């Protein structure tokens, strides 16, 4: 987990939960089932600039665009 991901995480007591945008990134790296989860999560994203930047840095922009198209979300 990098510093930016930690800063954006939500805290619930002693637990840290990644932001929706970071969950999408984790999901687009995974299996087909994970991609289906990413499609659902994309409907909850509020910071598309951050998500696009992170996908580009990770070399996953193509996968993000694919998931966004399935979700009917404009990236």
Residue 75 lies in a domain: no
Q: What is the pLDDT of residue 2?
A: 84
Q: What is the mean pLDDT of residues 54-74?
A: 95
Number of domains in the chain: 1
Residue 59 lies in a domain: yes
Residue 38 lies in a domain: yes
Residue 9 lies in a domain: yes
Residue 74 lies in a domain: no
Which residues constitute the domain of residue 19?
3-69
Q: What is the pLDDT of residues 24-57, one digit of tens each?
A: 999 999 888 899 999 999 999 999 999 999 999 9
- Which residues touch 18 (CB under 8 Å, ≥6 apart)? 1, 5, 8, 9, 10, 26
- Which is it for the CA torsion 14, 53, 26, 46, positive or negative? positive
Residue 49 lies in a domain: yes
Nearest to 48 by CA among 73, 27, 66: 73
């Amino acid at each position: 987990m990098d510093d930016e991901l930690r800063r954006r995480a939500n805290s619930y007591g002693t637990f840290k939960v990644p932001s929706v945008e970071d969950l999408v990134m984790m999901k687009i790296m995974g299996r087909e089932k994970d991609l289906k989860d990413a499609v659902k999560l994309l409907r909850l994203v509020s910071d598309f600039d951050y998500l696009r930047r992170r996908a580009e840095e990770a070399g996953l922009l193509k996968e993000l665009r694919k998931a966004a198209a399935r979700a009917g979300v404009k990236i």
